[in-house]
């Protein structure tokens, strides 16, 4: 079995909810970190065999932020990308999956991590409005952040469970 090693790392600064990065989507934030990590590793984007990127709230700017971040970072379109959603540990799970790809010989160079922008999570109207409309009555907005990070079984926030 091959050894998996981390040869480079990069991240975006940590922001506040509704702060300086509120208008910068998860794909853009992810692409900035991917570009920097590739540059620091001294490789070209076309050397990357696969991209594995965690993203927990996929209803924000784009449903496939991992793929968009990969493409915006200059990684060729024929390089496979995997999106991982394991809530708070999505980025760590992506790194674990990347290590498995290298250890099993399925890939030599994998870019892995996570990207998120909680400030861009939208509000929703109940799904029935899509089919039945909103005639003769009110509908309530649902906070996508609370719903996306909450357990539907017991209504606890995922950080609590």
Whole-structure pTM value: 0.87
Residue 14's pLDDT band, with cuts at 50, 70 and 90, is: confident
For the chain, the helix, strand and coil percentages under 3-state DSSP, each to the nearest 5: 35, 15, 50
Length of the chain, in residues: 161
Percent of the chain with pLDDT over 90: 61
pLDDT, tens only, 145-159: 888 888 778 877 776
Domain ranges (residues) in the chain: 26-120, 122-161
Fold that domain 26-120 belongs to in CATH? Peroxisomal Thiolase; Chain A, domain 1 (3.40.47)
How confident is the model over 37-77, as pLDDT tens digits? 999 999 999 999 999 999 988 776 667 899 999 999 999 99
Instruction: Answer for the pair 118, 112: CB distance below 8 angstroms, yes or no.
Output: no
* Closest by CA position to 100, among listed 52, 64, 38: 52
Answer whether 151's CB lies under 8 Å from 158's CB.
yes
**107: which residues sit within 8 A by CB, 6+ positions away?**
49, 50, 98, 101
Give residues with Cβ within 8 angstroms of 71, minimum separation 6: 31, 77
- Residues 108-152 have pLDDT tens digits of 999 999 999 989 888 888 777 777 777 777 778 888 888 888 877
């Amino acid at each position: 079995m091959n050894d998996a090693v981390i040869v480079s790392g990069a991240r975006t600064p940590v922001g506040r909810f509704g702060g300086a990065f509120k208008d910068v989507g998860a794909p853009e934030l992810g692409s900035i970190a991917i570009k920097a990590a590739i540059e620091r590793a001294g490789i070209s984007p076309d050397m990357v065999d696969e991209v594995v990127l965690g993203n927990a709230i996929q209803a924000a700017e784009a449903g496939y932020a991992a793929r968009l971040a990969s493409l915006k970072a200059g990684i060729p379109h024929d390089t496979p990308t995997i999106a991982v959603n394991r809530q708070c540990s999505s980025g760590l799970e992506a790194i674990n999956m990347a290590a498995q790809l290298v250890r099993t010989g399925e890939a030599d160079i994998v870019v892995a991590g996570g990207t998120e922008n909680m400030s861009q999570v939208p509000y929703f109207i109940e799904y029935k409005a899509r089919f039945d409309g909103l005639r003769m009555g009110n509908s309530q907005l649902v906070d996508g952040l609370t719903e996306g990070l909450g357990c539907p079984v017991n209504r606890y926030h995922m950080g609590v469970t």
